[in-house]
Amino acid sequence: MSNYDERLDAFVGRQLIEAKFGQDAVNQAMIRHWVEAMEDPNPAYLSDDAARATGRPGVVAPASMLQAWTMRGYAATQALARGESAPGASGFAELVGLLDEGGYTSVVATDSDFEFHREVVPGDRISVDEVVESISAEKTTGLGTGRFVTTVRTYRDAEGETVGVQTWRTLRFRPAAPEAPKALRPRPALNRDNAFWFEAAREKRLVVQRCADCSTLRHPPGPGCPECGSFDWDTVEASGAGTLYSYVVAHHPKHPAFDAPYLIALVELAEGTRLITNLTGVTAEDLEIGMPLALEWLEADDGLTLPVFAPTGPDTDHPRPTEN
């Protein structure tokens, strides 16, 4: 056990907040505010007659209000926020300081279990004290890594008789770092010979360079035609039909833009040229060289739209990724 764990452990059984009475005795006005806010129609909270009809001597406070009678109030909360310690809560301040030291700077309440020993009635003065029951080992949660701090709050009346016991659990946690934005795919290096292709892709058009003189198609594009020597060219738009010529299942090294293993394919277009692309809507086990494929578009990010391919045919009618 580390020294820090030992220091935390020393709090178990220790009183965090000394017994202290609430600022006001239990009273009808606060009960009224509560039941109106809660839209609780039980008349026993507001009418002595109604309460007597249930066998009680008179109005009772809603059980779930127990904690409310001892709350420190607005002014004291503001004082705490200013860093002034609340009287009688030095143990609490010390524990919070130790948790801060461990990086557990955030807090969220996770459980509140009550045992009610007797009903509270107007005129009761209620006190509460708080004792540490347990502090957990470090746990990883969706919110972040932290420790569950469980305390027992004992509510008593003016005579010191227990009216209720609350087991109160909070998670004191290190806020998880916000998820880093997903890495972008490597950018193409654009130049005078290739920019047209990526610009067309941005418009979701798969084009193939064509010699303006001998009409030979070529990919990857280049400034000159290897067949006739012409430097004049235009493009044709591909039909989007193709077949799988070869493929790679990429595992290592990992690149943050790609979720390994991922499928890289060499696709032969119906027009006859081939291109490197990715496959979607299919797993490696279902790949077969020669299988028919159809063009889809991947909007990889704001700056990059790429042609990808998916299987065609009756066996592959599962939903396609949407274009986003």
Partner 1 sequence: MRGPTRSLSRSAAIVGIGATEFSKASGRSELQLACEAVLAAIRDAGLTPADVDGMVTFTAETSSENHVARNVGIGDLTHFSRVHHGGGAACGTVAQAAAAIHAGLADVVVCWRAFNERSGERYGLGQADRPMDSNADRAAYSWMTPFGLSTPAQWVAMNARRYMHEYGATSEDFGRVAVTARRHAATNPKAWFHGRPITLEEHQASRWIAEPLHLLDCCQETDGGQAVVVVSAERAKDLPHKPAYVVGAAQGQAKDQHMMTSYYRPAISGLPEMGVVGNQLWAQSGLTPDDVQAAVLYDHFTPFVLPQLEELGFCGRGEARHFIADGHLDLGGRLPSNTHGGQLGEAYLHGMNGIAEGVRLVRGTSPNQPDDVTNVVVTAGTGVPTSGLVLGA
Quick one: which of 207, 217, 235 has its CA closest to 295? Answer: 207
Quick one: which of 75, 163, 87 has its CA closest to 125? Answer: 163
Residue 83 engages partner 1 in binding (rule: CB under 8 A): no
CA distance 5 to 10: 9
Minimum distance, C-beta of residue 212 to partner 1, in the bound complex (Å): 20
Minimum distance, C-beta of residue 303 to partner 1, in the bound complex (Å): 11
Residue 321 engages partner 1 in binding (rule: CB under 8 A): no
Instruction: List, in order, residues 6 or more apart from 191 with CB less than 8 Å away.
Output: none
Residue 189 engages partner 1 in binding (rule: CB under 8 A): yes
Among residues 13, 175, 220, 229, the one that binds partner 1 under rule CB under 8 A: 220
- Residue 97 or 253: the one with the smaller Cβ distance to partner 1 is 253
Minimum distance, C-beta of residue 256 to partner 1, in the bound complex (Å): 9
Residue 248 engages partner 1 in binding (rule: CB under 8 A): yes
Instruction: List, in order, residues 6 or more apart from 72 with CB less than 8 Å away.
Output: 80, 86
Residue 273 engages partner 1 in binding (rule: CB under 8 A): yes
Residue 250 engages partner 1 in binding (rule: CB under 8 A): yes
Minimum distance, C-beta of residue 246 to partner 1, in the bound complex (Å): 4
Residue 258 engages partner 1 in binding (rule: CB under 8 A): yes
Among residues 87, 175, 261, 321, the one that binds partner 1 under rule CB under 8 A: 261
Window 166-185: residues binding partner 1 (CB under 8 A): 185
Residue 114 engages partner 1 in binding (rule: CB under 8 A): no
Report DSSP state, residue 313: S
Among residues 19, 30, 80, 249, the one that binds partner 1 under rule CB under 8 A: 249
194 by Cβ neighbours in 10 Å (0-12 / 13-18 / 19+) ranks as middle
Residue 52 engages partner 1 in binding (rule: CB under 8 A): no
Quick one: which of 154, 157, 166 has its CA closest to 120? Answer: 157
Quick one: which of 179, 182, 178, 180 has its CA closest to 300? Answer: 182
CA distance 30 to 58: 16
Check residue 92 and give left, alpha or beta (phi > 0: left; psi -120 to 50: alpha): alpha
Contact 47, 105 (CB under 8 A): no
Only one of the segments 89-97, 140-148, 202-210, 259-267 lies at the binding site for partner 1 (rule: CB under 8 A); that segment is: 259-267
The residue ranges that bind partner 1 (CB under 8 A) are 185-191, 193-194, 198, 219-220, 226, 245-253, 255, 257-258, 261-262, 264, 266, 273-278, 284, 289, 300, 304, 306
